[in-house]
Structure 1
Amino acid sequence: MQANQYLHHNGKIYKADKLLISPNNRSFRYGDGFFETMKMINGKIILADYHFERLFTSLELLQFEKPNYFSPNYLKTQIEELAKKNYHSKLARVRLMIFRGDGGLYDPENHFPNHLIQTWELNPSNNILNENGLVVNIFKDARKACDNYSHVKSNNYLSYAMAALWAKKKQLNDALLLNSYDRITDATIANIFIIKDGIVKTPALSEGCISGVMRRHLLKCLHEENIPVEEAKIEPEELLQASEVFLSNGVYGIRWIKSCGNSNYTNTLAALFHKKFVTTLS
């Protein structure tokens, strides 16, 4: 069965190759909107409450005006129906994009949350911790802002897109980004955690990283297990001196990093966290 045969747009199902966005669309012109990337296992959206809480927080922050029917249950139903139609319910990646419609920079036609849902089948290996550690490095050609919008999964993805192109050109598995203070923020599609001197650390949201749902889940689990964990400012030197480094996102859970530049890492705790906190979600 061919993946991604259909998509959902504003309450209707279309063939996946249907052209839906106008040249005057504000998301196309300005990146005016945001998105959620979710994982579905056996028809269930993993960490659904966290995803929809983040979505509706972003909706309000970006000044969208939602109709009464536009609720978590409405979106959940649309996602489930699309995944079923695409035969993706068993194991899938779901992308839900919210965007404003047509208009110039100062004169949008309205603030309705246009929504586009797509699904893709995932390989079962996605549920397993990566056997071979990732090889990454620090991308220095862009800096992420630290402001009221930097934690949003914005449709304006330029820094991450350029970092991903750079990583591919350098034959790396991923790239790490810096903020305007030259500190570590996150990776192109994931949050980052380091382990140094027995303490787990991840950049604070004030450092410009995306407010990841898996990041939130892992922080909660670590706190509940009384494992020392901090949301902190992480200098590149501290990253390079860490004993372990791993990435997290809502689709693959945890991926451990083998090396960054000339620094090499192990995966003892990353493997434990994956087994204890990620595999149990399914």
Structure 2
Amino acid sequence: MVSINGNLLDNNEAKLSIDNRGYAYGDAVFETIRVNSGSILFWEDHYFRLMASMRILRMQIPMKFTPEFLESEIINLITENGLLNSSVRVKIIINRVSGGLYTPDKNEVDYVISVSKLSTNFYTISEDSYTVTLFKDHYVAPDLLSTLKSNNKLVNILGGIFAKENGFENCLLLNTNKMVLEAINGNVFLVKGNTIKTPPIDDGCLKGVLRTQLLRILEKLEEYQLEEASISPFELQKADELFITNVIGGIIPITKFRKKEYKNTVSRRLLGILNSRIRLGDK
């Protein structure tokens, strides 16, 4: 079942109009959320990012869109799908209501929530190889709109197709300044010695929720020096480790870029700390 504006419908009955602005113009934002046994991970960060994204896109936020209301909508849908005791991937899409061409008639919104079951309760690291390459066909502008989870993700889509056609697990995207920005589905971290580096939001990368969690963890680990700074492609092959983060997969170590192979020692340590915080209820 899915929820459309709070109405629960079977998947085969749920339909959107061809005038839906998210479909017609990409006039929508979304959040992808992980829920473990009815507990929404990092809910506060997801909620405030969603509200900030709506404000940036000049959408009218309904008065009822409180954290408690949206949390209740999510848990209700999970319950109706019989997944309350499972790990679940939740996607919330907020689109401006139909009407107008490029310029909308109104700024009110509709919302859709969908859920699907995940296989593990906590984050794990696979032993499989995970090779990446740079995607150079298109670049991402280093501006505020690039930091949003909007329905305008053509560079990510084309990067995914490129990776699939050329035998890679992922692509690293570049901004128009030719700096490493992110992967097609998550933020990027680089480890060199005791320095851990990730691109700054000003470079145009997504303000990822799991990125935020790791920054909070790393700020308390005195043995590491944390840098939010631009990453040149030339730095990748000098790194000891590279890894990707997102709230569904957790921490995904990159095993190979070009001829360079990487360790995953720091990745595993950080993943252990992250899982411990989740177990203790620090969301």
Q: 1:34 aligns with which of 29, 32, 40?
A: 29
Give 1:104 deviation, angstroms: 3.1
Q: Within 5 Å, which residues of 2 pair with 1:144-223?
A: 144-223=140-219
Distance 2:44 2:79 in 1: 21
Q: Which string of whole-angstrom CA distances, capped at 9 and with x for unpartnered residues, describes residues 45-99 of structure 1?
A: 1011110010111111111112211212111101001111112222111111111
Q: Within 5 Å, which residues of 2 pair with 1:85-124?
A: 85-89=80-84, 90-124=86-120
Distance 2:275 2:212 in 1: 12
Local SS of the residue matching 2:163: helix
Give the match for residue 22 of structure 1: 17
Q: Is the 8 A contact 1:133 1:255 kept in 2?
A: no
Q: Within 5 Å, which residues of 2 pair with 1:6-17?
A: 6-17=1-12
Q: Within 5 Å, which residues of 2 pair with 1:50-69?
A: 50-69=45-64
Q: CA RMSD in A?
A: 1.4
* Aligned residue identity for 1:264: E
* Structure 2 unaligned residues grouped into runs of 5+: none
* Aligned residue identity for 1:224: K
TM-score by length of 2: 0.94
Local SS of the residue matching 1:178: strand
Give 1:106 deviation, angstroms: 4.1
Give 1:177 deviation, angstroms: 0.4
Give the match for residue 125 of structure 2: 129
Q: Which string of whole-angstrom CA distances, capped at 9 and with x for unpartnered residues, describes residues 14-40 of structure 1?
A: 111234322222211221111100101
Is 1:233 equivalent to 2:233 in the alignment? Answer: no
TM-score by length of 1: 0.94
* Structure 1 unaligned residues grouped into runs of 5+: 1-5
* Aligned residue identity for 1:36: E
Q: Which runs of 4+ in 1 moved over 4 A?
A: none
State the percentage of identical aligned residues: 31
Q: Is the 8 A contact 2:244 2:252 kept in 1?
A: yes
Give the match for residue 3 of structure 1: none
Q: Is the 8 A contact 2:28 2:151 kept in 1?
A: yes
Give 1:225 deviation, angstroms: 1.8
Q: Is the 8 A contact 1:100 1:111 kept in 2?
A: yes
Distance 2:256 2:204 in 1: 23
Q: Is the 8 A contact 2:36 2:121 kept in 1?
A: no
Give 1:279 deviation, angstroms: 4.5
| Number of equivalent positions | 277
